[in-house]
């Protein structure tokens, strides 16, 4: 992984780029919720330098919003005063956000652009390695490599069960660098939560003991990987307001910035493809998105996302030419050849610790194509061997994958169409 440029910590409220009232109010809420705490502990929880928190403390003390309870390791210990508690309760009624201090929108925009996914160098060896666990044509890998280098978008289409989702899941492994993700972003004194532990994977780096203090409002993470399936709705692409916590959470594409966003099984979502395309026509074309805040004001953020659309449907059936032009990379993923199917079978059987021989693979291919009249979908090898693994687990014995077991698994897997007498 490339060396990462660390971000120096602001040493004053002015240097945070935030409105003074916002920072002070955040401290009042944090002090109320955390109780008796030292200034160094408060600095850690707010992800601010001790110098900034000492500046806040001077204000809190002057306004009688806190009381000093003692000293700890050269740092004041403080607690919210009765006046401070009253103000905190009032502030929490407006917004319950009391986490790390946000970064200004301007800083966020500059940071996203400076670590754009379009500026990442793709190593050919790492590209091939990303797909080592699946069976895929070298030509397809090369085409995916070109698409990833573009940092724009990719349409993976073809029949169901051909491995489009598996390919999509491998693509994020192509990237071997890190990006800074903010805990939250401030827009018009509104705090928008961005960092999501279900999406963002923090990276720990060693720093010299003499290194200057860094801005911990930012978390160093692997490039994000976000997958949206049938649950995707238009609401998820705009700010999401929690009526309970009373603050905003970033939309899906904002959480995915500087990373990969997979729209899996396109055409099966709660939002119609046409609506999704209309919503993202400008972002895909201009690489910017517009998000609305209360009152109707819109603000602009980068749309720095490598978007993968995976679908079993014919793209031309639900996307017009204007939209398809904005997806510069389109790759058809077809059925497996007998040789590829055999490779998939071997890989899966080895993973499941199942014993087999090549005659069994030939028999399975004959059953699928001849008896059940199905094409060789790559998923069949995995699914049928999984059936056998379940049977072995139920019987509590090691099973050898022979012809009879393969035939039984096929009967259990495929819909009955009066073919059982041919097995």
- Is 419's pLDDT higher than 60? no
Domain ranges (residues) in the chain: 13-99, 115-177+223-332, 338-422
Asked if 378 contacts 385 with a C-beta cutoff of 8 angstroms, the reply is no
Instruction: Report the Cα 70 to chain-centroid distance in Å.
Output: 44
- Is 11's pLDDT higher than 80? yes
Confidence label for 216 from pLDDT (cuts 50, 70 and 90):
very high
pTM for this entry? 0.89
The closest alpha carbon to 179, from 195, 159, 161, 198, belongs to 195
Main-chain phi, psi angles of 141, to 5 degrees: -60, -45
Asked if 213 contacts 15 with a C-beta cutoff of 8 angstroms, the reply is no
pLDDT of residue 88: 97
Report pLDDT digits (tens) over 223-271: 999 999 878 888 889 998 888 888 999 999 999 999 999 999 887 777 7
Q: Which residue has the higher pLDDT, 416 or 283?
A: 283
pLDDT of residue 210: 55
Indicate the burial class of 29 (C-beta count within 10 angstroms; 0-12, 13-18, 19 or more).
buried
Confidence label for 208 from pLDDT (cuts 50, 70 and 90):
low
Confidence label for 211 from pLDDT (cuts 50, 70 and 90):
low
| % of the chain beyond a pLDDT of 90 | 72
Chain position carrying tokens 């120096």: 8
How far apart are the C-alpha atoms of 134 and 170, rounded to whole Å?
9
How far apart are the C-alpha atoms of 172 and 261, rounded to whole Å?
9
Tokens at 245, concatenated: 């916590």
Domain 115-177+223-332 has CATH 3.90.1170.40: no
Domain 13-99 has CATH 3.40.50.1370: no
Domain 338-422 has CATH 2.30.29: no
Bridge partners (DSSP) of residue 406 are: none
How far apart are the C-alpha atoms of 91 and 30, rounded to whole Å?
11
Report pLDDT digits (tens) over 340-387: 999 999 999 999 989 998 899 999 999 999 999 999 999 999 999 999
How far apart are the C-alpha atoms of 405 and 411, rounded to whole Å?
10
The closest alpha carbon to 405, from 378, 384, 421, belongs to 384
Chain position carrying tokens 């190593």: 123
Among 25-29, 71-75, 147-151, 347-351, where is mean pLDDT lowest? 71-75
pLDDT of residue 243: 81
Confidence label for 197 from pLDDT (cuts 50, 70 and 90):
very high
The closest alpha carbon to 164, from 140, 198, 138, belongs to 140
Among 141-145, 173-177, 205-209, 217-221, where is mean pLDDT lowest? 205-209
Confidence label for 423 from pLDDT (cuts 50, 70 and 90):
low
**Average pLDDT value over all residues in the chain:** 91
Among 11-15, 24-28, 265-269, where is mean pLDDT lowest? 265-269
pLDDT of residue 87: 97
- Helix H, strand E, coil C: the string for the chain is CCCCCCCECCCCHHHHCCCHHHHHHHHHHHHHHHCCEEHHHHHHHHCCCHHHHHHHHHHHHHCCCEEEEEEECCEEEEEECHHHHHHHHHHHHHCCCCCCCCEEHHHHHHHHHHCCHHHCCCCHHHHHHHCCCCCCCHHHHHHHHHHHHHCCEEEEECCCCCCHHHHHHHHHHHCCCEEEEECEEEECCEEEECCCCCCCCECCCCCCCCCCCECCCEEEEECCEEEECCCCCHHHHCCEECCCCCCEECCHHHHCCCEEEEECCCCCCCCCHHHHHHHHHHHHHHCEEEEECCCCCEEEEECCEEEEEEECCCHHHHCCHHHHCCCCEEEECCCCCHHHHHHHHHHHHHHCCCECCHHHHHHHHHHHHHHCCCCCCHHHHHHHHHHHHHHHHHHCCCCECCHHHHHHHHHHHCCCCCCHHHC
Report pLDDT digits (tens) over 30-55: 999 999 999 999 999 999 999 999 99
- Is 418's pLDDT higher than 80? no
- Is 192's pLDDT higher than 80? yes
């Amino acid at each position: 992984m490339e060396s990462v440029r660390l971000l120096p910590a602001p040493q004053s409220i002015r240097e945070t780029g935030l409105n003074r009232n916002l920072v002070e109010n955040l401290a009042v809420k944090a002090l109320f919720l955390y109780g008796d705490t030292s200034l160094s502990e408060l600095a850690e929880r707010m992800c601010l330098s001790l110098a900034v928190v000492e500046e806040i403390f001077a204000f809190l003390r002057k306004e009688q919003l806190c009381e000093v309870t003692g000293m700890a390791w050269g740092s004041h210990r403080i607690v919210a005063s009765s006046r401070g508690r009253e103000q905190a309760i009032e502030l929490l009624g407006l917004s319950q956000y009391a986490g790390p201090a946000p970064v200004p929108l301007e800083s966020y925009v500059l940071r996203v652009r400076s670590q754009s996914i379009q500026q990442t160098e793709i190593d050919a060896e790492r590209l091939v390695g990303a797909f080592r666990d699946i069976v895929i044509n070298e030509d397809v890998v090369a085409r995916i490599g070109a698409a990833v280098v573009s940092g724009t978008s990719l349409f993976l289409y073809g029949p169901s069960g051909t491995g489009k989702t598996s390919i999509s899941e491998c693509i994020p492994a192509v990237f071997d660098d890190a990006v800074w993700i903010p805990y939250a972003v401030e827009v018009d004194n509104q705090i928008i939560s961005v960092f999501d532990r279900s999406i963002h994977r923090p990276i720990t780096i060693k720093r010299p003991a003499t290194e200057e203090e860094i801005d911990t409002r930012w978390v160093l993470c692997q490039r994000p990987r976000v997958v949206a399936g049938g649950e995707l709705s238009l609401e998820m692409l705009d700010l999401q307001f929690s009526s309970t916590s009373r603050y905003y959470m970033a939309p899906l594409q904002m959480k995915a910035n500087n990373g990969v966003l997979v729209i899996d099984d396109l055409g099966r979502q709660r939002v119609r493809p046409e609506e999704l395309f209309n919503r993202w026509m400008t972002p895909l074309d201009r690489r910017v998105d517009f998000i609305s805040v209360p009152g109707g004001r819109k603000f602009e953020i980068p749309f720095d996302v490598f978007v993968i659309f995976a679908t079993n449907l014919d793209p031309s059936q639900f996307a017009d030419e204007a939209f398809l032009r904005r997806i510069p990379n389109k790759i058809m993923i077809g059925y497996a050849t007998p040789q590829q199917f055999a490779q998939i079978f071997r890989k899966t059987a080895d993973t499941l610790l199942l014993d087999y021989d090549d005659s069994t693979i030939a028999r399975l291919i004959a059953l699928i194509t001849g008896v059940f009249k199905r094409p060789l979908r790559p998923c069949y090898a995995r699914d049928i061997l999984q059936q056998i693994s379940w049977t072995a687990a139920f019987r509590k014995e090691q099973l050898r994958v022979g012809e009879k077991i393969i035939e039984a698994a096929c009967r259990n897997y495929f819909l009955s169409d009066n073919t059982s007498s041919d097995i």
